[in-house]
Amino acid sequence: MERAEGGTNAQGVAVKDDGRARSLRGVTELVLVRHGESQGNVAATLAHEAGAHVINVPARDADVELSDTGRDQALALGRLLSGFAEDQRTAVWSSPYARARQTAELAVQTGGWPTAVLVDERLRDRELGILDMLTSAGVEARLPEEAERRRWLGKFYYRPPGGESWADVALRLRSLLADLDRRHPGEGILLVCHDAVILLIRYILEGLTERELLDIAATSTILNASVSRFVRPGGTGPWLLESFNMADHLLTEGVAVTQHSGDADVHPR
């Protein structure tokens, strides 16, 4: 039988905690990390700069690994984590995609955190379906009707055939966040994931509108291995965004800060 714990109420009178209060609490802190630079990030940037239609990625999206710079970024993240006190070392969850898992595992090992990396497919990147491996120029040239439909609907609601819209990703993230509240009441969590996932967690936790989210997406590029932090003291009530898209730990270590963004044309027309 679980031992009941006690405390005091607002008047300082001792009260018995029967577990109900704990059951109503959720996660108190979320630290969101974008994976380090990947080989796919590098290939996509080169393809866009060259005006190519197809991105020459070395593997399917789920299996694309970190670049050498990305590994350096993950190690720098680990050195940041090594400075966390014992009571600040939280559970670590990761997207199953190789670039995110490698970032999480390298950071945890380097930081000396005695925790396993938990993998959940709901943290995976947005699935692009028929648009996979195509640049914006490639979509315009090869799938002009899809390019026009994407412009009409905007980034949030456009779902490419065989893929996901941002609204679809938000749905699976709501499920994940609810599970985290149940599994880690009163605790903090570190999530290693992708740029779209970080933006959509902001959308959910801050209660943003479609317009507000797309305004952020149009003006902010989530940096590789950057850190964003939400807090919710007590595990209930509204979330507070304490920091967003911070990469000071990379600059301090002399590691390259890289930004690889998607299409900035995100608003519906």
What's CA 224's distance to the chain center, in Å? 11
pLDDT of residue 261: 78
pLDDT of residue 263: 76
Query: Which residue type, as a one-letter code, is found at position 173?
Result: L
* Mean pLDDT (whole number) for 55-73: 96
Q: Is the pTM of this model over 0.85?
A: yes
Q: Do the domain assignments include residue 265?
A: no
- Provide the domain count of the chain: 1
Q: Which two tokens stand for residue 78?
A: 């680990």
Q: Do the domain assignments include residue 216?
A: yes
How much is the mean pLDDT over the chain?
Answer: 92
Q: Do the domain assignments include residue 208?
A: yes
Give strand pairing partners of 189: 30, 91
Any idea what the CATH number is for the domain that residue 66 is in?
3.40.50.1240
Q: Do the domain assignments include residue 14?
A: no
pLDDT of residue 260: 87
Long-range contact set of residues 17-26: C-beta below 8 Å, sequence gap at least 24: 22/185, 22/186, 23/185, 24/236, 25/185, 25/186, 25/234, 25/235, 25/236, 26/180, 26/181, 26/182, 26/184, 26/185, 26/232, 26/235, 26/236
Tens-digit pLDDT profile for residues 201-211:
999 999 999 99
Tens-digit pLDDT profile for residues 165-205:
999 999 999 999 999 999 999 999 999 999 999 999 999 99
- Residue 212: give the domain boundaries: 26-253
Q: How confident is the model at residue 64 (pLDDT cuts 50, 70, 90)?
A: very high
* Mean pLDDT (whole number) for 19-39: 86
